[in-house]
Structure 1
Amino acid sequence: MPCIFPSAGMGNRMICVTSLGAKKGFSVLISKALIDLNMLEAGAQCFPLKLYEKNSLADASIKTNDMQDELVANPQSSSSTKSNTQYTAKDGITDAGLVHFQIAYSTEILTKEDVFYYIYGLLHSEDYKKRYADNLSKELPRIPCVKKASDFWIFSKAGRDLAELHLNYETVNCYPVKLDTGNKKLNELGDKDYYVEKMRFANKEDKSVVVYNNHITIKEIPLEAYEYVVNGKPALEWVMERQAVTTHKESGIVNDANLWAIETMNDAAYPLKLFQRVITVSLETMKIINALPRLDIATNLITNPIKDSTLV
């Protein structure tokens, strides 16, 4: 990770996919910070937008005419794009990778960022995941070119839009669910009224209602929000599981989401608002995914020097 996030303030983005042997199906996420590599089943494989090298090493290793056989660069190669006093930032997408797509869409002006977000959009395609389900369980994703340039741009824009949603999930608008607060009005609730131990469904057969705690029940949750699945589970159910109070059996260590809400986020209602925001993210994500075009792959393109466009 030092070549991806070398120090605080060095911004980057990376596409994270499930590793080999995952049994819950293929998943993809994007991150702008260091992650727990075990956040995805079988471990996460990460592919960055940028790679950083210390300048003392970068000067000796940069090759201006680098034409690797990979789509995404390794830390020791790829052309330089930007530097500061300590680090040189290089593109994660190789020169060869960009050329591959430029050949496919010769009338278009493409950048490496366009390709990066095309990959993120493509990996969300239900058609792609269904068609290559067997391969995705055994090897890293292969990134084909779609036939039409117009489809390339749809996938690339979708990837950008999905990235903004997924990276900024904490700042999107809260979905306007109905909050049943009993005898109190919402503006009368104090910090202690937002304390959550474990969210649960009021009825296992009806996921439109979630009991947040003894004071708050969340109603009118759109069922479509549960269609956005990450790592084998709806994103909303991950929020329900993680925004809770749990005790590690062996160590006795207590993990209390309420402490994070108050001490870090300065908002006792953070778990509730996060749930509402993830509803928004889930609905918008599925809207983008469902609007993606059918996967129509170009089969007559020269794949060298990309080695069949493998994402490594």
Structure 2
Amino acid sequence: MVSGRGAGRFAVLATDVVADLNTFVPTHVFARYRYEVPNTKDALFDGVEREIRQVDNITDEALAEFQGIYSDTSLTKDDLFAYIYGVLHHPGYTEQYGDNLTKEYPRIPWLKNYRELMEIGEKLLDLHIGYETVEPYPVAEEFTLMPPEDERERYRATIMGHPNKGSGARGKADWDRTRIQVNGYLTLTGVPERASEWILGPRPALELFLQRMRPSIDKKSGIKNDPNEFSEDPKYVVELTKRVIRVCVETSDLLGSYQ
């Protein structure tokens, strides 16, 4: 997914599930594959099970150009996809073309250090797609006051944000990004500051995640959104937060490793 025309700042993110087109406002999706069913008249009603066909969205012509540019016939379409993801995250690319990227589709240059870009792109893809399965970052759980005996209530996510250290310059809040307040009892401490260095659109990716983890009720529909109910595990949100912290830290490290 990439942010579309009119977005304040360019953003890019990979997912292996159906994308929310409101992730970035607006959002464009460039899928690795698409899936088609035979276009047979009345196929929906004839009771015959149709085979879904996977179609590669990277053409043979694009792969041939990629291989030709670098004189390397061992390169695959997955390599090209990883290369593109690596380029789209390159700090030099996003800084130099930031204004263009908010107005038009990204254009991908052929860069000399293509192997490095492929490797970084592949690592970023693995991190961003597999964020739910990475090893949790070893932050500490600090309980204050008298937490409830019930484990589900003790770990229930309600606040999900950085605490305010006090008024900073011009009276603005001075957020302590080394701490995440889960609720009135639990705070995660020892969060590396570089976890907030990965910017996804207008804000740090970690902040966007924390915002999504706060229970809310849609004003128009009245539909309740409570991440605490996404799993039977009472610590689901807390453990997922630790995993996302690792993803943010390692992404920041990778973004700093480009030549």
Q: TM-score range by the shorter chain?
A: 0.7 to 0.9
Distance (Å, rounded) in 2 between the aligned partners of 1:171 and 1:184:
32
Match of 1:181 in 2: 143
**Displacement, 1:56?**
5.9
Distance (Å, rounded) in 1 between the aligned partners of 2:73 and 2:19:
35
Match of 1:46 in 2: 29
Match of 2:90 in 1: 125
Query: Judging changes above 3 Å, is the alpha-carbon distance between structure 1 residues 200 and 134 closer, same or farther for their aligned structure 2 residues?
Result: closer
1:230-266 CA distances to partner (integer Å, 9 max, x unpaired)? Answer: 2322121122211122222334333222222xxxx22
Query: Judging changes above 3 Å, is the alpha-carbon distance between structure 1 residues 183 and 38 closer, same or farther for their aligned structure 2 residues?
Result: closer
Give 1:58-207 correspondences, 5 Å limit.
86-147=51-112, 151-182=113-144, 190-203=151-164, 204-205=173-174, 206-207=176-177
Counterpart check, 1:29 vs 2:9: no
**Displacement, 1:100?**
1.5
Distance (Å, rounded) in 1 between the aligned partners of 2:205 and 2:72:
39
Query: What percent of counterpart residues are identical?
Result: 36
C-alpha RMSD of matched pairs (Å): 2.1
Distance (Å, rounded) in 1 between the aligned partners of 2:33 and 2:212:
30
2:211 partner letter: E
Distance (Å, rounded) in 2 between the aligned partners of 1:245 and 1:89:
37
8 Å contact kept, 2:217–2:223? yes
Aligned residues: 241
8 Å contact kept, 1:198–1:241? no
**Displacement, 1:113?**
1.1
**Displacement, 1:189?**
6.3
Give 1:204-219 correspondences, 5 Å limit.
204-205=173-174, 206-219=176-189
8 Å contact kept, 1:26–1:231? yes
Unaligned runs of 5+ in 2: 41-49, 165-172
Distance (Å, rounded) in 2 between the aligned partners of 1:253 and 1:113:
39
Unaligned runs of 5+ in 1: 1-15, 58-84, 294-312
Match of 2:229 in 1: 259
**Displacement, 1:274?**
1.5
2:155 partner letter: Y
Distance (Å, rounded) in 1 between the aligned partners of 2:32 and 2:210:
31
1:190 partner letter: E
Give 1:215-230 correspondences, 5 Å limit.
215-230=185-200
**Displacement, 1:55?**
4.7
Match of 2:168 in 1: none
Distance (Å, rounded) in 2 between the aligned partners of 1:286 and 1:99:
32
Runs of 4+ in 1 over 6 A off after TM superposition: none
8 Å contact kept, 1:20–1:138? yes
8 Å contact kept, 2:161–2:207? no
Moved more, 157-166 or 200-209: 200-209
**Displacement, 1:107?**
4.0
**Displacement, 1:281?**
0.1
Query: Judging changes above 3 Å, is the alpha-carbon distance between structure 1 residues 200 and 112 closer, same or farther for their aligned structure 2 residues?
Result: closer
2:111 partner letter: V
Aligned equivalent of 1:231, options 181, 193, 201: 201
Counterpart check, 1:247 vs 2:213: no
Distance (Å, rounded) in 1 between the aligned partners of 2:163 and 2:29:
38
Distance (Å, rounded) in 2 between the aligned partners of 1:35 and 1:107:
33
Distance (Å, rounded) in 1 between the aligned partners of 2:193 and 2:37:
49
1:21 partner letter: G
**Displacement, 1:161?**
1.0
